[in-house]
Structure 1
């Protein structure tokens, strides 16, 4: 069952509670902190381009990469997507025409990687396409987030559609399954039904740090997304729902 097909057309409607503006400001703050120039930025797992378009508006030349053709088609319906290069590629195999100043991956796109080897592959690819001292910034949902969510069902009804989101988290494997049923109103006034399954994985902090190191990147810091404060102690990691990892290219 393919993800982000039927959901693509209604994704932004149901994700209107996601703090895209705040997350974009966070990234801009980190770019400034680490002297990232106004250069090309690649957005891995860009979806409908919410972050991509905001960074373009801030002055960056943007490339958006996603493996869902439907999500990219939705992104291109927005007028402010003009000038953005969208590529339909799998982040585990993505290719660019040259190097970029930064690679970002937000909205837990990294959690869609299945295991450590895939995580390492993405880190190596990011490192390969970064300019000297370029930045790789990504967020992840944590074990704490998934454990809190557990096995639960979320349902939401809107005027032109509704969804049922059934969640199942396996503590031992740290794999999380979302079973999604969507009802989307069509032009006839009736509702089309779509079903999707989304699989995510909760990486440990040690796994992520190891992948960054083995890929040749230098880990600069780990931040709690909600507070933008450094997270170092083990007890702090256990209480955070979402983390930023900021790494830098150091070998070119």
Structure 2
């Protein structure tokens, strides 16, 4: 049995805490993220794939969750493998229309197994932000490099410092039929690079009874300059950085204004035409 903290809650070592959280979130995840335009997000990644070029169409989508991005990329003609830490999230993905066009595999981003060889690797959303130790991020980059063919393209995004600071504002409340959800961000902790997002979900369980489900997400801010240095350390060549601002790309990312920074890099190999 896992030890308990002073609030009596289980203390689960990483990465099992993240897996446990998403296993419990899986039935609600798509509803919670319904406002996120994954179709547009996938389209923006497609624009970058076209801009930078890739040696083929074999694509691995890392941290694919319930398959929103993996299925979208498969619909564009890529041969997609989707990997995620949470088996419950993958079960939701595998039950969706079009899932027979994607190979879904359970895998830890910080300790990637041999999933095959790919021309493109993508990682959309927060998966890399859950890697709290720099050694984990380096391990993830090394794992991606092993999976890429020579000349292979790696596209991923990370939250900005400005996004984390804005999390400390007014709590967000989602009120839906039979449940309501409260999202509360802490901003940066005293360590200066960690941020917590606490989620409380209240679901009606018949009559006047409600069930409360609580989760804590802990993210690390990875500054773009440090990310570039780590990519170089594992032999991945930086191609460019882009900001995500109001749902659109900009070629001059701003850590204070933008929601995310999207990084593009390549495994050395034959030049792309």
With normalisation by structure 1, the TM-score equals 0.91
2:57 match: 39
**Residue 190 of structure 1: how far off its partner (Å):** 6.5
Following TM superposition, by how much is the alpha carbon of 1:140 offset from its aligned partner in structure 2, in angstroms?
0.7
C-alpha separation in 1, matches of 2:86 and 2:116: 23
Q: Verify the 8 A CA contact 2:123 2:156 in the aligned structure 1.
A: yes
Q: Are 1:59 and 2:77 an aligned pair?
A: yes
Q: Distance in 1 between matches of 2:147 and 2:226?
A: 22
Greater RCO, 1 or 2 (C-alpha within 8 Å, sep 6+): 1
Decide which moves more: 65-74 or 163-172.
Answer: 163-172
Helix, strand or coil: the match of 1:48? coil
Is the CA contact 1:10–1:184 (under 8 Å) kept in the aligned structure 2?
Answer: no
* Partner residue in 2 for 1:179: 198
Rate the CA distance shift 1:4–1:184 in 2: closer, same or farther, 3 A.
Answer: farther
1:92 and 2:110 correspond:
yes
In the TM superposition, structure 1's runs of 4+ consecutive aligned residues that sit over 6 Å from their partners are: 186-190
**Cα 1:116/1:48, change in 2 over 3 Å:** same
Alpha-carbon spacing, 1:6–1:188, altered in 2? closer, same or farther (3 Å): farther
Which of 224, 240, 243 aligns to 2:243? It is: 224
Please point out which of 225, 229, 234 is paired with 1:215.
234
- Equivalent pairs counted in the alignment come to 249
Shift in CA distance, 136/185, structure 1 to aligned 2, threshold 3 Å: farther
Query: How far does the alpha carbon of each residue in 1:89-109 deviate from its partner, in whole angstroms, 9 at most, with x for none?
Result: 110011134210111000122
1:110 to 112, 116, 128: 128
* Counterpart contact for 2:53–2:153, Cα < 8 Å: no
Distance across 2 between alignment mates of 1:69 and 1:5: 7
In 1, the alpha carbon distance for the partners of 2:73 and 2:207 equals 37
Secondary structure, counterpart of 2:256 in structure 1: helix
What do the CA deviations read for 1:171-214 (whole angstroms, capped 9, x no partner)? 54311112222234569997543222211111111111111111
Does the alignment pair 1:71 with 2:92?
A: no
CA–CA separation in structure 1 for the residues paired with 2:251 and 2:136: 26
In structure 2, distance between residues paired with 1:123 and 1:115: 13
Shift of 1:151: 5.7
Q: How far is the alpha carbon of 1:141 from its aligned partner? A: 0.7
Aligned ranges 1:1-252 → 2 under 5 Å? 2-150=20-168, 152-170=170-188, 172-184=191-203, 192-226=211-245, 227-231=248-252, 236-250=254-268
Structure 2 gap segments, 5+ residues each: 1-16
**Matches of 2:205 and 2:73 in 1, distance apart?**
33
Separation (CA, whole Å) in 2 of partners of 1:81 and 1:6: 21
**Aligned-residue CA RMSD in angstroms?**
2.2
